[in-house]
Amino acid sequence: MSLALSLNLSALLAPLAEPSAGVGLSIATLGTGTILLLFIVSLGTVGLAVLGALRRSERLIEGSVQATYASFGLAAFASSLIIYAFLAGDYSIQYVQHTSDAAMPLFYKITAFWGGLDGSLLFWVLLHTLFGSLAVRANRMRHRELIPHVVAVLATITCFFVGLLLFIKDPFSQFLLDVPSQGRGLNPLLQNLYMIIHPPSLYLGYVSLAVPYAFGMAALFTGQVDAAWQRSVRRWVLFSWMFLTFGLILGGLWAYEELGWGGYWAWDPVENAGLLPWFTATAFLHSVMIQERRGMMKAWNLILIIVSFLLTIVGTFMTRSGVVQSVHAFGSDPVLAWTFGGFMLVIVVVSFGLLLWRLPLLRSRGELESVMSREFAFLINNWLFLLCAIFVLAATMWPTFTEWRMILAERFPWALGWQDPGERVVIGPPFFNQYMRPLGLSLLLLTGIGPLLAWRKTSTASLARQFGAPLVAGLLATIVPWQLGIDSPWGLACFGLCGFTCWTIVQEFYRGVALRRKQRPQGVLEALISLVLRARRRYGGYIVHLGVVLMFLGWAGNAYKLEKKVQLRPGEEYTLGAYTIRHDGLRATEDWQKEMITADLAVLRGGEVKDVLQPARWWYYQLPDQPTTEVSRYMTPGEDVYVSMQEVDMTSGWTQLSLFINPLVNWIWIGMGVMLAGAMVCVGTRKSEAGDDA
């Protein structure tokens, strides 16, 4: 009934929004019309901003700023239309029919908005225009000269994505002939809480990186490449970084809890795509400090911002175009692939062209004075992060490159026929782990060393004072696990470095508190709190580092993880490590969505029942040939007992189980919490300094 109503109402409203949409008025027409209008407005914004900047016309610039807000309004309208279509079950729209059905809970119907390719692009536009409006609003009084350029760059990006929506992937496109009366429904694997939070969180990180890029470009256009543009963007990058971190680790947690293979990170191309900008954003957050302090590395920082933004586009490209094979690629689409490829090429040419043009302005004011300085530590940190990004990108894209080479060799045998193209290469997790392990551990080492070094030059006397205790802690943290029987060199190195870095952080806090208490009489807690509040970035950063250490501790646990595939019948037992698993029986149940078979497994340690695990397999009626694996685990700070059910035979009771003992794995999630808390400390600003660095 409300559907009919909506048709009435949209018929009333449509002429206001889109006068040309004459025939067959419906939500779909209205939506497509809105997207068309949004495209025109974004083009107009670019024009106004460029003209305004050329003529220095305040009127035109003000118009372009208002047009930026208007594009957000239009994007919000289009998004609310598609959400309405989901809620009302308007299956004449293809996208709605593909990703939802009437039986889905309300919440999943709303989140189905970003569940598929077309909708996620619209969601991208919505977030992009929102962030653009917020950034322009926050900075338009402070950095007036930059604003028209920022608006122009942001609106160009909007144009590209709205153009995609309009010409290639219209989320409002309709069925032309037979309108189905039923929806196809969302993949049950995606119907869980992590999946609702994980993609938007990554999106928030991705999309918000466009704002720093726009400011960087504006700085290059105007030639005001000093500190102003960074003040506007440092917070944004931190914000993007937080969401990227959150989204990535949540993705890991989802894989760990849903996929049932006992791990959390398998170097899937799409996860890698999220990791790439994370590397460069992290590098930027560090190197921006050198520029602030010493006026060095100006060009480098701009490069990092450009590359971060470019990598978000590469990531989107990898997810959307189907050029890489992945569990969550949206499927192959050559048109989209070429469009994205062209866009990336334009970004590279324009950004780096501008950078070359402005290179004379970007010369460094200071210079590196000593190897034993914090600048140098930051520099190495940056190289390592960039190396990580390049390695992961190359290893992720390599299979695709070999495929392209095969295609080219087939098409141009006279040029490439002399070599044997071979088969499509598959690069698996062991390859990534082999190279990322030393890179990660070197970064952990730097996390420990960097903060102890002084700017410019560290004196030898200070070195001994700073590094004595942490080195002892690191040695202890290596020897103790070794004595306990861990013989993996990587594991021991990781434990040792965790101990070292952890102690440097504790020492920083301890010395800071001691210094503060010397300056004025204060309690320890009071001194600690005021210390953190007064130098938020520094101590927030240390808290983030502490989270990193905890995560590395979780990874170190991999060195002695146990796994076993076993077949158990009710009543049988199996012993793995310190735990005994006892099969207590099977249950078959069903609800309105699915059939379930659940096993009851008692976990015993030292003869005592610690917990009863209930791994299960679910068969959704909707997708009967794709049963899902429901993992069950017994969590302790020391380890996880993790069980997933692979095969089950109800008649004989044979149950094939994958048993894992994952030591220290929970510290990864705890580490994430600590990292985010630290980042909040960095972002958080008191009201009195609200204008400081938005």
Q: Which of residues 446-485 bind another protein (CB under 8 A)?
A: 452-459, 462, 465-466
Q: Residue 555: is it exposed, middle or buried by C-beta count within 10 angstroms (0-12/13-18/19+)?
A: buried
Q: Closest Cα partner for 453 from 540, 507, 375?
A: 375
Q: Residue 126: is it exposed, middle or buried by C-beta count within 10 angstroms (0-12/13-18/19+)?
A: buried
In the list 35, 67, 93, 217, the residue contacting another protein (rule: CB under 8 A) is: 67
Residues in 132-161 at the binding interface with another protein, rule: CB under 8 A = 140-142, 144-145, 147-148
In the list 342, 363, 371, 407, the residue contacting another protein (rule: CB under 8 A) is: 363
The answer to whether residue 63 forms part of the interface with another protein (CB under 8 A) is yes
In the three-class reduction of DSSP (H, G, I as helix; E, B as strand; rest coil), residue 457 is classed as coil
Kind and range of the H or E element at 596?
strand 594-605
Q: How far is the CB of 104 from another protein (least distance, A)?
A: 12
Q: Closest Cα partner for 77 from 120, 17, 25, 15?
A: 17
The answer to whether residue 13 forms part of the interface with another protein (CB under 8 A) is yes
Tell me the C-alpha distance between 170 and 167, whole Å: 7
Nearer residue to another protein within complex by CB, 64 or 321: 64
Q: Residue 24: is it exposed, middle or buried by C-beta count within 10 angstroms (0-12/13-18/19+)?
A: exposed
The answer to whether residue 51 forms part of the interface with another protein (CB under 8 A) is no
Nearer residue to another protein within complex by CB, 99 or 396: 99
Residues in 394-453 at the binding interface with another protein, rule: CB under 8 A = 452-453
Q: How far is the CB of 100 from another protein (least distance, A)?
A: 13
Task: Provide the H-helix boundaries in 322-454.
Answer: 334-357, 374-411, 413-416, 429-449
Total number of residues that touch another protein (CB under 8 A):
85
Binding mask 21-50 for another protein (x = CB under 8 A): --------------------x------x--
Q: How far is the CB of 88 from another protein (least distance, A)?
A: 4
Nearer residue to another protein within complex by CB, 210 or 299: 299
Nearer residue to another protein within complex by CB, 98 or 358: 358
Residue 230 makes CB contacts below 8 A (sequence gap 6+) with 288, 291, 292, 301
Nearer residue to another protein within complex by CB, 400 or 462: 462
- Which two tokens mark 511? 């010395």
Binding mask 503-542 for another protein (x = CB under 8 A): -----x--xx--x--------------x--xxx--x----
Binding mask 590-629 for another protein (x = CB under 8 A): ----------------------------------------
Q: How far is the CB of 177 from another protein (least distance, A)?
A: 26
Query: Could you please report the per-residue DSSP string of 161-192?
Result: HHHIIIII--TT-B-SSPPPSS-----GGG-S
The answer to whether the beta carbons of residues 531 and 514 sit under 8 Å apart is no
Nearer residue to another protein within complex by CB, 286 or 583: 286
Q: How far is the CB of 344 from another protein (least distance, A)?
A: 30
Tell me the C-alpha distance between 128 and 252, whole Å: 25
Tell me the C-alpha distance between 11 and 631, whole Å: 50
Residues in 204-223 at the binding interface with another protein, rule: CB under 8 A = 222-223
List the beta strands (DSSP E) in 484-578. 562-568, 573-576
The answer to whether residue 290 forms part of the interface with another protein (CB under 8 A) is no
Q: How far is the CB of 216 from another protein (least distance, A)?
A: 16
Q: How far is the CB of 621 from another protein (least distance, A)?
A: 24
Give φ, ψ of 484 to 5 degrees: -80, 0
Tell me the C-alpha distance between 57 and 55, whole Å: 5
Q: How far is the CB of 451 from another protein (least distance, A)?
A: 9
Tell me the C-alpha distance between 555 and 407, whole Å: 39
Q: How far is the CB of 149 from another protein (least distance, A)?
A: 12
CB under 8 A: which stretch of 6-14, 278-286, 304-312, 314-322 binds another protein?
A: 6-14
- Which two tokens mark 680? 């909040």
Q: How far is the CB of 526 from another protein (least distance, A)?
A: 9
The answer to whether the beta carbons of residues 129 and 211 sit under 8 Å apart is no
In the list 310, 362, 377, 586, the residue contacting another protein (rule: CB under 8 A) is: 362
Q: How far is the CB of 537 from another protein (least distance, A)?
A: 9
The answer to whether residue 566 forms part of the interface with another protein (CB under 8 A) is no
Residues in 81-110 at the binding interface with another protein, rule: CB under 8 A = 81, 83-84, 87-88, 106, 109
Q: Closest Cα partner for 569 from 654, 650, 670, 497?
A: 654
HSE-CB for 352 with a 13 A CA cutoff: 9
Residues in 536-565 at the binding interface with another protein, rule: CB under 8 A = 538
Q: How far is the CB of 593 from another protein (least distance, A)?
A: 20
Residue 618: strand pairing partners: 596, 628
In the list 21, 35, 50, 61, the residue contacting another protein (rule: CB under 8 A) is: 61
Q: Residue 688: is it exposed, middle or buried by C-beta count within 10 angstroms (0-12/13-18/19+)?
A: exposed
Nearer residue to another protein within complex by CB, 51 or 480: 51
Tell me the C-alpha distance between 416 and 623, whole Å: 45
Tell me the C-alpha distance between 199 and 183, whole Å: 22
Q: How far is the CB of 240 from another protein (least distance, A)?
A: 22
Q: Cα 429 vs. chain centroid, distance in angstroms?
A: 19
Nearer residue to another protein within complex by CB, 424 or 534: 534
Residues in 232-251 at the binding interface with another protein, rule: CB under 8 A = none
Tell me the C-alpha distance between 106 and 128, whole Å: 26
CB under 8 A: which stretch of 70-78, 195-203, 439-447, 649-657 binds another protein?
A: 70-78
The answer to whether residue 56 forms part of the interface with another protein (CB under 8 A) is yes
Residues in the chain, total: 694
Looking up tokens 């927030």 gives 540
CB under 8 A: which stretch of 568-576, 582-590, 607-615, 686-694 binds another protein?
A: 686-694
In the list 334, 342, 429, 691, the residue contacting another protein (rule: CB under 8 A) is: 691
Residue 583: strand pairing partners: 601
The answer to whether residue 689 forms part of the interface with another protein (CB under 8 A) is yes
Residue 395 makes CB contacts below 8 A (sequence gap 6+) with 267, 427, 431, 432, 435
